[in-house]
A and B are shown apart, each in its own frame.
Chain A
Amino acid sequence: MGDKKKKKKSQLPFRLNILFIFVFGLFSLLILQLGVVQILNGEEAQNEINKTENTPSTKPVPRGKMYDRFGRIVLDNEPVKAITYTPPKNGESAAKRLELAENLAQYVTMFKDREELLDNIKERDKKEYWYLQNAKVVQERLTKKEKELDNSEQYKVMLDKITDKDLQEIEWTDELLNVIAIKKEFDQAFELSPHVVLNEGITEEEFAQVAEHLPELQGINAAIDWKRKPLYGGTFNSFIGGITTSDKGIPLENRDYYLTHGYSLNDRVGTSGLEQQYESVLRGRKEKVQYTTDNSGNVVGSEIVVQGKSGNDLVLTLDMELQQAVDKIVQEELKTAMGKVNNNGYLEDALVAMMNPQTGEILAMSGVRYDREDNEYKDQSYRVIYDAHQPGSAVKGATLLAGFDSGVVHIGETIRDTAIKIAGTPKKESWTNLGNPSDLKAIERSSNVYMFNIALRMSGASYQYNQPLRGFDWDSFQRMRNYFNQFGLGVETGVDLPYEATGVVGQDTVAGKILDLAIGQYDTYTTLQLVQYVSTIANDGYRIRPHLVNEIRQAEPQKGQLGPVVKSFNTEVLNKIGIDDKYIERVKQGFINVFHGSQGTAAGRWSGEYRKYKVAGKTGTAENPQYEDGKMKAYTENLSLVGYAPYDNPEVAFAIVVPKNGGGNTQYAVHHEIGKKIIAKYFELKDERAKNGVDTDLLSDSKQEEDGQTKEE
């Protein structure tokens, strides 16, 4: 061996020793880090464990209520006793759920009616139950190939392999079916969100029993749930809107939106009307409770992590007393009109909107439809903002102002009221020959020819009887509509509801149609647009946003008392029409003459006692022939009336539209009748309140019918 070997031997021990030092270093590092983790931070880790063993749970809070302008409750909450199940984080196994269901079934019967119970339990539910009892047996039935399927597929196959014979092994008593029904509800619950197992139909005794045994029912809670309760039946319901049920939960199409805003999957949310528009106000904040448990899972304490807060209440602009009265008037008048001889079978709707023209507060909105199939009068007030109709001459105030502002007519100008005939279109004239009306007379007596001339002059066309229009400027349609839009006709009114219609704009293919546009027989408008239009004139040209909510208030501290104001909605001017005040004054005078002039189109109907209300406004009639398969079936007219009162200081504006009336001399002036009655009612209530104060307790009178619908006998 000699030298070489010796040399090698000498370097090996040295290097092994270096390796040893290195190993020593590494092991020391381990011990050091262990010391840090176990001794320095050990207690923290233990606390962390204690903390994470508990999961916070949430409790529902009542949704905000709605009051009318005088603090009368319109939409209330009704407490409902409910049994809820909240699965732990990451869910619970099916076997555990069954065990819990068996436990709960001792105290609760899901279906009091046996038939319902049998209907509820399907064969699949029975198979699932059988599977839980015999999982091993079913698993053995799987072929080798089936065992390789993923879990859900495999489960399906296993359920298929359970035969009727298997199911007959078990005696399906009602008690057992009850357990399965409960488990079925448990199966639908999402982790950490309370799922309502049973609410309607739970008895006091069941609720008490469950409440008493809560400690042994992990995840079960006996809670008070809330149900919406409208106090005035059908009246105004379509504007209040609806919310989803807790079974349906948040709408799937906007799932992500709601989840990021702190909703649980089974939260109820507003899906229409004010419930939807003011969802964020009404929902409130759920109470979050953190339970602390000891090692065996018993609750030893609870801490409120997030203080719950009831939803805020809405104070509406609505006068519920007036609303009810208007509903009744509209329905009665519609009923009367239906019975008249001229009614040729198309009349079905009567629509009314009333608002304060100066503030935009909507006082009442009423829409009644006669349903021919059900032979029933239905409250469908949403038609006030959803349905658009041709209103006829009611828009002439806007036409005249357009004429003034375009400089095509001037104050006091007279125009001869002769028929207009353009080649290729029918002859057009006023309802009777009005001679040589001035601008004022043209409004008072509703001259079509005057408006036709304004339209023709604005279009720049040269007109000769029975000749085509020459030099017609097609942009004049848009110019006319721009004027109309300034009053709210053909644009959104801005009302605080999730949806409103803006009406149909005609296809401008025939030049002569501009004449129809000028007299309100072309484009269609909603009743709400019409009330905004007349309010804009009443208001000297300020277009106000109509609104249904006056204030947002915190939940009532005590029953029958309103909470402090969170936000109040002031009058909002959308635009001031760009037309000289002297022209607006002229149109207002015309509107007064319609009701008070010697020849006013409304003067006859509004004579006598009705003069004292100082109403100004405009009537309208639009021809509305009904066609079927291209053939005219019947001649009908849309009757409309817009106005405000008193004309020297307007405080109420209204628009009434009753489409598809029969025409002719026997026609019942349903629009005037509704108008007179609602105005009379408005002032009657005002006087009464001035004398006796506001009657805040409408319900105890029990004068009104159960709901807005009554059967036609």
Chain B
Amino acid sequence: MSSKNTNSNIDYTLISIIILLGIVSVFTIYTLQPHLDQNYYLKQVIWYIVGSMAVVVMMLFDFDRLRQVSWILYGIGMILLLMLFFHFPPGIAKEVNGAWGWFEFPVFGTMQPAEFMKVFLIILLAHVIVAHNEKYKNHTLKFDIWLLTKIALVTLPPLALVAKQPDLGGVLVLCAITVSLVLVSGIQWRIILSLVGTAVIAVCLVVAAYIYAPEKVESFVDAAGFEHVESRFQGWLNTEEVGQSGGYQLIRAMLAIGSGQLSGKGIGDYQVVDTIPEPHTDMIFTAIAEQFGFIGSSFVITLYFLLIYRLIHIGLQSNDPFGSYLVTGCIGMFTFQVFQNIGMTVKLLPITGLPLPFISYGGSSTLTYLIAIGMVLSIHFRTKEYMFD
């Protein structure tokens, strides 16, 4: 907590990071342009301009007011997801790559409600936790379980609807948001640790079962409606055998990234990325890695790290717990998406449909993340510095 003047003001560091990410995004899409069917880089520029306006609006808006509209926002998000669930309205609700996750408006373009739901969930969860903590000052076992129940009740409905689309990536992001908020909500360590322990054991059991009796797990997973999850998991485990189907994307991605080597092949000099379908969306990191190699990709990862660092800083500074929780939710969201998106292209994690925040082409996602950043800026803007805390 250094000086009085730099705080309670606009966070230029954060803004610079976002601008840098925006440049990387537009530039990368531009180099991919010869392999794309539409003028995506210009569209992305437009989205950034629209997003910047959203940032300004959000920043000027007192984030504390969000508590009052949190349920309304959540309700809007739920209605949109429910409409998708019933494929309503016909002709506008749209299936892309087997998932019912989009609305397509005639002039406007497409919109992905699950993206907005991420921010709405952050706001509502932050509100629920703050309200709870204000009511129950002590963290006893009983109160903590009550809080956990409330969090679960809020999280599960959108989770189920997104899972039904099906959009595994979206589900995982919502989970990441919830987990990070549970961590900072003040719930006792022993509850958190036992929850984490249970989760770890469960995952280990499923993986072990899959290794020893794949058919049974497969049929169970298929029955639960997650065939695509299983095929991607397959592609991740046995990349070579699955070959054309599940593993194809991964093989191409690994070749693209690997052949970038230390310093990359140079701007627009693609050998592999152009054979990956839709390289400007989820797989955009491969384009960066092939062009600019390890140096370029490490630079991008560092940018993200600085972004998270900055968010943590703002979260720590905020003297309003609601603000801290909002920031934490954003941290969870960004961290998970970056880790999952890059992790899947380098075979750390199975392939999942998730955009790389701020860089992947996409209107709804870019707008959502910029709104989140606007929210964070607003928190920073309104943080009062106590000289003598």
A-side interface residues toward B, CB under 8 Å?
4, 8-9, 11-13, 15-20, 23-24, 26-27, 29-31, 33-39, 41-46, 48-49, 295
Contact = CB atoms under 8 A, between A and B. Distances in A.
Contact of A12 (B184, B293, B309, B343): B184
B294 A38 contact: yes
Contacts of B316: 13, 16-17
B137 A42 contact: no
28 contacts: A11-B186, A12-B324, A13-B316, A15-B183, A16-B184, A16-B315, A16-B324, A18-B183, A19-B183, A20-B309, A27-B301, A27-B304, A27-B308, A31-B298, A33-B346, A34-B346, A35-B294, A36-B346, A37-B257, A38-B261, A38-B262, A38-B294, A39-B261, A39-B294, A42-B260, A45-B259, A48-B255, A295-B271
Contact of B348 (A13, A17, A30): A30
Contacts of B338: 27, 30
A49 B257 CA distance: 12
B164 to A, nearest CB: 25
B284 to A, nearest CB: 15
A407 B257 CA distance: 91
A37 B312 contact: no
Given A12-B186, A20-B312, 15 more contacts: A17-B316, A19-B184, A19-B312, A27-B338, A29-B348, A30-B301, A34-B294, A34-B297, A37-B346, A38-B258, A39-B262, A41-B258, A42-B293, A44-B258, A45-B259
Q: Give the one of A33, A34, A48 with max B CB within 10 A.
A: A34
Contacts of A11: 186
A16 B315 CA distance: 8
A336 B255 CA distance: 80
A233 B308 CA distance: 87
Contacts of A49: 255, 259, 271-272
Contacts of B348: 29-30, 33
B370 interface: no
Given A34-B346, A42-B259, A44-B258, A26 B335 contact: yes
A27 B259 CA distance: 22
A13 B301 CA distance: 24
Contacts of B254: 37, 45
Contacts of A20: 308-309, 312
Given A38-B257, A48-B255, A8 B321 contact: yes
Contacts of A4: 137
B54 interface: no
A46 B260 CA distance: 8
Contacts of A35: 294
Contacts of A23: 305, 308, 312, 331, 335
Nearest to A4: B137
Contacts of A48: 255, 259
Contact of B301 (A34, A36, A46): A34
B339 interface: yes
Contact of A38 (B271, B297, B312): B297
A73 B261 CA distance: 61
B289 A34 contact: yes
Nearest to A15: B184
B interface residue count range (under 10 / 10 to 19 / 20 to 34 / 35 or more): 35 or more
A555 B107 CA distance: 72
Contacts of B346: 30, 33-34, 36-37
B350 to A, nearest CB: 14
Provide the main secondary structure of the chain A interface. helix
Contacts of B308: 20, 23, 27
A376 B151 CA distance: 98
A27 B297 contact: no
Contact of A45 (B184, B255, B335): B255
Q: Give the one of B259, B338, B343 with max A CB within 10 A.
A: B259
Contacts of B331: 19, 23
A383 to B, nearest CB: 52
Interface in B133-149: 133, 137
A12 B312 CA distance: 11
Interface in B97-156: 133, 137
B229 interface: no
A38 B289 contact: yes
Contacts of A33: 343, 346-348
Interface in B261-286: 261-262, 271-272
Nearest to A18: B183
Contacts of B319: 9
A38 B260 contact: yes
B261 to A, nearest CB: 4
B26 interface: no
B320 to A, nearest CB: 11
A93 B262 CA distance: 36
B259 to A, nearest CB: 4
B358 to A, nearest CB: 16
> Which 5 pairs between the two chains have the least Cβ-Cβ distance?
A45-B258, A42-B261, A38-B294, A46-B259, A45-B259
A45 B347 CA distance: 14
A37 B285 CA distance: 14
A16 B258 contact: no
Given A8-B321, A20-B312, A37-B254, A43 B261 contact: yes
Contacts of A45: 254-255, 257-259
B328 interface: yes
A426 to B, nearest CB: 73
Given A34-B257, A38-B257, A42-B260, A19 B301 contact: no
A12 B331 CA distance: 14
B339 A30 contact: yes
Contacts of B262: 38-39, 42
A33 B344 CA distance: 11
A15 B193 CA distance: 13
B180 interface: yes
B342 interface: yes
A32 to B, nearest CB: 9
Contacts of B260: 38, 42
Contacts of B258: 37-38, 41-42, 44-46
Contacts of B305: 23-24, 27
A37 B348 CA distance: 11
B388 to A, nearest CB: 14
A31 B297 CA distance: 8
Contacts of A295: 271
A19 B328 contact: yes
Contacts of A36: 346
A13 B289 CA distance: 35
B129 to A, nearest CB: 11
A30 B261 CA distance: 15
